[in-house]
Amino acid sequence: MFGTYLIGLRAGLAAALVVGVLLAWPVRAGRRDALAPVWTGAGAAAALFLGFGCALTFGSRELTPEAREVLGGSLSVLTAALVTWLVLRLRHTARQARAGREQPGAAQRMSTAALAATAFLAVGREGLETALLVWASVRAADDGTHEPLLAVGLGLLTAAVLGLLCCRGLLRVGRAAFFAGTGALLLVVAAGVLAHGVRAFQTAGFLGGLEDKAFDASATVPPDSWYGALLEGAFVLPPQPTVLQAVVWSLYLVPALALFLTAPPRPGPAGPR
């Protein structure tokens, strides 16, 4: 049962952290009107993929393992791309505000839509795999046990609580540290999500090198331990990444962090004097 609990915790933690940061951003920026789209995006993804997983589990058709990996890998790539754009966009908005320039209403609406879309993809990225696991547990309940379903649910609930605690903690730090820290955190998570997508395409056979491991930290961070599940869930990087995963992770994260931390604000209309 503990192993099943860790599966739910690992699957839900990265999404919970992303959603937690997305909830903290509007509050810190004084845009509480943008909270509803974030909740809507996350809730819609959870409902959609829970229903999708139910249809695949109890319906007459099901996705092949290769198709599941391709779908999961595609969602991972889309999530990483949208998180990157959103981080850079909101960083620009924060710098514009400090420079005394107002963000136009159209750009505000675009940022709100991006928050909702990012929440949707962040939750949906692991939603299919988790939903299939949940409904498989429901099937197992026909044999008289509800323990697998309960364990997965507790793992997901723990991940959600950790995401909300992350949101509350972030709201206590200074404004400059908040935007810099949360942006860097999201880029680290996005790097792991992108590497996870690469691993999915390798598993599906679209990319080679699945057996070539960059390193093996499983002895130090056992994947079946609670701290191993926390680290893998937060950084979306297994203790035995492939060489291609490690290369993609590095090639994404280093330039993204450099751009995020050093890019000057673009020129914009001056605010009222």
242 DSSP β-pair partners: 213
Contact between residue 247 and residue 215 where contact means Cβ atoms under 8 Å apart? no
Q: Is residue 273 in some structural domain?
A: no
| Residue 25 maps to a domain | yes
Q: Measured in whole angstroms, how far is the alpha carbon of residue 91 from the centre of its chain?
A: 19
Cα-to-chain-centroid distance, residue 104: 28
Does residue 118 lie in a domain region?
yes
Distance between CA atoms of residues 246 and 252, nearest Å: 10
Distance CA 264, CA 246 (A): 29
- Check if the beta carbon of residue 97 is closer than 8 Å to that of residue 21: no
* Residue 178 covered by a domain: yes
Is residue 44 in a domain?
Answer: yes
Local confidence pLDDT in tens for the 273 residues of the chain: 677 788 788 878 888 888 988 888 888 877 788 888 889 998 988 888 777 767 766 665 667 778 888 888 898 899 899 889 888 877 766 665 555 554 544 445 546 788 888 888 888 877 776 776 666 666 665 555 667 678 878 888 898 899 889 888 888 888 778 878 888 889 998 999 999 999 999 999 999 999 999 999 888 888 888 888 888 888 888 889 999 999 999 999 999 998 888 855 444 444 443
Give alpha helix (H) positions in the chain: 2-28, 35-58, 65-98, 105-140, 147-170, 175-204, 226-235, 243-262
Lookup: tokens for 272: 């009222």
Please check whether residue 27 is in contact with residue 35, taking contact to mean a CB–CB distance below 8 angstroms. yes
Give pTM, 2 decimals.
0.82
Domain housing 52: 2-262
Number of folded domains in the chain? 1
Residue 270 domain-assigned (yes or no): no
CATH for 236: 1.20.1250
